[in-house]
């Protein structure tokens, strides 16, 4: 089964290698992973809503595997010292989103056609050059795939995806 796991970790050198190592040691492939620092905007750190997470980063990873083994991995993750919290987001009602940049080698004649398709997928142009343009699109993985298929005739020369991030729907705290 597919699992989306959110891990809050302290910013220590090597923590990402250790988290990734836990999965590879069991032969589990990580389909996608994102890690970024939690914001340290003082103004809202002090707000009652959010706990102090400065000096922390959040890892969101997607993996496929037997539920029992995933449960074991989550237990192991919880034992790692720099790990503050682990949530299997797939257990609850949640929102999943991903961002993708696509570079098209669109000559002037077909550019408008390509832009119309981008518009249908609510994509935005973030850069344009003499023979290329870069569009940005967000959504679920399937939407991004559908957009790529629709854009295929316009010479896709590069694609980069962020991997999924996810958030529980309930008003839960970090």
Stretch 54-93 residues interacting with a copy of itself (CB under 8 A): 57-58, 60
**Structure letter (DSSP) for residue 31:** E
- CB 22 within 8 Å of CB 77: yes
CB 126 → a copy of itself: shortest distance, Å? 6
Q: Which of 10, 76, 88, 99 touches a copy of itself (CB under 8 A)?
A: 99
CB 106 → a copy of itself: shortest distance, Å? 10
34 or 72: CB nearest a copy of itself = 34
User: Residues 130 to 159: which contact a copy of itself by CB under 8 A?
Assistant: 131-132, 134, 136, 138, 145, 148-149, 151-152, 155-159
- Distance in angstroms (rounded) separating the CA atoms of residues 38 and 58: 6
26 or 74: CB nearest a copy of itself = 26
* Contact call for residue 3 and a copy of itself (CB under 8 A): no
42-62 in b/e form (b: 16+ CB < 10 A) is eeeeeeeeeeebeebbbbbbb
Stretch 25-54: interaction string toward a copy of itself, x if CB under 8 A: --xxxxxxxxxxxxx-x-xx--xxxx----
Q: Which of 110, 115, 117, 168 touches a copy of itself (CB under 8 A)?
A: 168
> How many other C-beta atoms are found inside a 10 Å radius of the C-beta of residue 76?
16
Q: Which of 69, 81, 120, 160 touches a copy of itself (CB under 8 A)?
A: 160
* Contact call for residue 173 and a copy of itself (CB under 8 A): yes
3-state class (DSSP) for residue 169? coil
CB 113 → a copy of itself: shortest distance, Å? 15
């Amino acid at each position: 089964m597919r699992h989306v796991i959110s891990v809050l970790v302290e910013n220590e050198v090597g923590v990402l290698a250790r988290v990734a190592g836990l999965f590879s040691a069991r032969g589990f492939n990580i389909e996608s992973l994102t890690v970024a620092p939690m914001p340290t905007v003082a103004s809202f750190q002090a707000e009652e809503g959010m706990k102090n997470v400065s000096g922390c980063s959040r890892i969101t990873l997607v993996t496929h595997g037997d539920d029992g083994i995933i449960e074991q991995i989550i237990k192991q993750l919880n034992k790692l010292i720099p790990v503050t919290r682990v949530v299997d987001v797939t257990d609850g009602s949640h929102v999943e989103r991903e961002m993708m940049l696509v570079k098209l080698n669109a000559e002037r004649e077909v550019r408008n056609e390509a832009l119309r398709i981008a518009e249908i997928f609510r994509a935005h142009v973030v850069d344009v050059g003499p023979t290329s343009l870069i569009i940005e699109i967000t959504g679920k993985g399937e939407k991004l795939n559908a957009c790529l298929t629709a854009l295929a005739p316009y010479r896709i020369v590069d694609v980069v995806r962020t991997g999924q991030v996810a958030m529980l729907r309930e008003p839960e705290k970090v």
